[in-house]
Amino acid sequence: MKDTNCIFCKIANGEIPSKTLYEDDKFRVILDLGPASKGHALILPKEHYANLYELPDETAGEVMKLAKKMAVQMTERFGCEGFNLVQNNGELAGQTVFHFHMHLIPRYKDDGQKIGWKPQEVTQEELEAVVKCFGAEE
């Protein structure tokens, strides 16, 4: 299904031009217009899924396989020294375009980017409570 109001549907399906690194019948990989680094790209499914929760299992598997393939090729061709795969899921997590996409961010020495989080202190009891909350306690 496509969403007629969705810009990534239009880009993924070629109705709006983009700088495309890869395309097949299910995906298009485009360069991000606000890149974190040289080669920052986005994997877009051609079908509209707003987020990870909506993504079919089969498509989720294909996204990860494609991410690996792209990471290998981009590392060879751009000469990056590391890679971040990022998927912002939900507004609170930083998602701004509500058509599922995976960020492929090549990393270079001194690229000035810092992608991460602030580690918090945690006790064994707190970790155990999380396991219990998840429902995985023995």
99 binds, among ligand AMP, Zn ion, none (CB under 5 to 8 A by kind): Zn ion
Is 28 among the residues that bind Zn ion (CB under 5 A)? no
* Residue 67: count of CB within 10 angstroms of its CB: 19
Task: Pick the closer one to ligand AMP by CB: 34 or 135.
Answer: 34
Q: Choose among 21, 116, 102: nearest CA to 65.
A: 102
User: How many positions of this chain bind Zn ion (CB under 5 A)?
Assistant: 6
* Contact positions with Zn ion (CB under 5 A) in 91-120: 99
Task: Pick the closer one to ligand AMP by CB: 11 or 71.
Answer: 11
Active-site annotation holds for 101: yes
Across 1-138, the runs of DSSP E, i.e. the strands, are 20-23, 27-31, 41-45, 82-86, 102-107
